[in-house]
Amino acid sequence: MKFLRLFTKGFFLTVNIVVVLFFLLACLVPFISPVRFWPISFITLGFPFLLIALLLFMIFWLIFHPKYALIPLIALLLGWKSVSAFIALRWPSNWETQNKPEGTFNVMSYNVALFGLYAKKDSKPVREGIFKLIEEHQPDVLCLQDFYTSEKPGDFNNREDISRVMDMPHRFFSSDFNRGGSQHWGTIIFSRYTILKADKVKLSSGPLGESLIYADVLKGKDTVRIVNMHLESYRFNAQDYESIEKVRKREDTGLVAAKGIIYKMRDAYIRRSRQANIVADFIRTSPHPVIVCGDFNDTPASYTYFTVKGNLQDAFLQKGSGIGRTFSGISPTLRIDYIFADKAFTVKGFRTIHSGLSDHYPVITNLRLNR
């Protein structure tokens, strides 16, 4: 029995140490650009599971061998920067988006997935649902990614329709891709407030390269810079998702296909890190208080997140709760859509709106400029 106890303790201790090592590696990711060493970026996908494992080990050791609980505890303290970015330790807010305290305004960010243009044969109900959702939550500034609009007869002119329906006459659109000069794809900012200046900054070259866009809006007597972006995705197609499912089921055919998926992920990590550096440099040079919205396609444990965030406030961490999942596919732990705000703002409220209209959930925050 003594041998069995020693073996069991040694086994759990070894596993605990291995988990700690991988956890601490994951906590180093924000400081190591994927351009320099891309394999480490993959660890961020397992960060929530490593965190859960450490918490379970701490409970286990407290019950059976309290002194060993220091191992996961010290690891958690060393990695607190990443832990505190991943989870908001507060009670859920009962803030209602329609009730804006005096002097505040609402900012919404939403990847609308082209209004269901390619996901379903009839995208009209999806489009109508998205319009209704936006109208219900009354944003004063609306940042949309994966946006589609068209001037073709019989098609949807979403650019004009949102301005009209939502009473947001001011807008700026990247129009990164277009077909025949009448169909457009990209990122857009809508605003109830006058836009004094707007422009775009190319984030990557090539036929699929997207842009950061910004708009300087006049809020009362103050000028606020709104930044919106859609950072590099993995560009998985239907076949890739099938391969992921095969890997989950440990099918041999899936393991062969996994090689191609890894290459796509590697390329995306590297491109995103370069884009994040461009975004961070742009934010630092802003002459006005900044609000950053976007689909970063990366988690809060990533180099991308920490590089773009810099000294800004993460609205979710200020007023959200839990892990704040914003992507409905692949994993239940993915928060990849963000709103960051300059410290000149007070975050008064935040909500993740759980809707199945897109594979992303919209996020909305209520802000007050401290003047």
User: At a CB cut-off of 8 Å and minimum separation 6, what does 281 contact?
Assistant: none
pLDDT of residue 278: 97
* Amino acid, res. 353: I
Other CB atoms within 10 Å distance of the CB of residue 296:
28
CA 229/CA 186 separation, integer angstroms: 9
Query: Can you read off the two tokens belonging to residue 71?
Result: 């191992």
pLDDT of residue 335: 94
Residue 103, pLDDT > 60, answer yes
Residue 324, pLDDT > 70, answer yes
DSSP, collapsed to helix, strand or coil, labels residue 88 as: strand
Question: What does the pLDDT look like over 18-31, one tens digit per residue?
Answer: 999 999 999 999 99
Task: Give the side-chain half-sphere CA count within 13 A for 229.
Answer: 34
H or E stretch including 56?
A: helix 47-64
CA 192/CA 205 separation, integer angstroms: 32
Residue 4, pLDDT > 70, answer no
Q: Angle at which helices 2-28 and 47-64 pack, to 10 degrees?
A: 150
Mean pLDDT of 271-289: 97
Mean pLDDT of 362-368: 97
CA 196 to chain centre: 28
The candidate with the shortest Cα–Cα distance to 300, out of 285, 271, 320, is 320
* Amino acid, res. 48: P
For the chain, give the mean pLDDT: 90
Tell me whether residue 247 is exposed, middle or buried, using C-beta atoms within 10 angstroms of its C-beta: 0 to 12, 13 to 18, 19 or more: middle
Mean pLDDT of 204-209: 75
Is residue 2 very low, low, confident or very high in pLDDT (cuts 50, 70, 90)?
low
pLDDT of residue 31: 94
The candidate with the shortest Cα–Cα distance to 21, out of 64, 67, 78, 65, is 78
pLDDT of residue 246: 57
CA 63/CA 315 separation, integer angstroms: 37
The domain limits of the chain are 2-86, 104-369
pLDDT of residue 245: 59
Mean pLDDT of 78-82: 96
Instruction: Calculate the alpha carbon distances from 127 to 131, 136, 148 in Å.
Output: 6, 14, 11
Question: What does the pLDDT look like over 227-270, one tens digit per residue?
Answer: 999 999 887 666 655 655 555 555 555 556 667 788 889 999 99
DSSP conformation class of 298? S
The candidate with the shortest Cα–Cα distance to 225, out of 266, 274, 277, 189, is 189
CA 166/CA 193 separation, integer angstroms: 12
In the chain the beta strands, taken as DSSP E runs, fall at 104-111, 141-150, 170-173, 177-179, 183-191, 195-202, 211-219, 222-230, 290-295, 313-314, 337-341, 345-352, 363-369
pLDDT of residue 10: 87
Is residue 122 very low, low, confident or very high in pLDDT (cuts 50, 70, 90)?
confident
Q: Among 2-11, 196-205, 225-234, 309-318, which is the least confidently predicted range?
A: 2-11
CA 9/CA 213 separation, integer angstroms: 55
pTM here is 0.92
Question: What does the pLDDT look like over 214-233, one tens digit per residue?
Answer: 999 999 999 999 999 999 98
More confident residue, 51 or 6: 51
User: At a CB cut-off of 8 Å and minimum separation 6, what does 66 contact?
Assistant: none
pLDDT of residue 308: 98
CA 299/CA 48 separation, integer angstroms: 10
Contact 129, 357 (CB under 8 A): yes
Contact 174, 203 (CB under 8 A): no
- The CATH superfamily of 104-369 is Endonuclease/exonuclease/phosphatase (3.60.10.10)
Contact 254, 240 (CB under 8 A): no
Contact 355, 345 (CB under 8 A): no
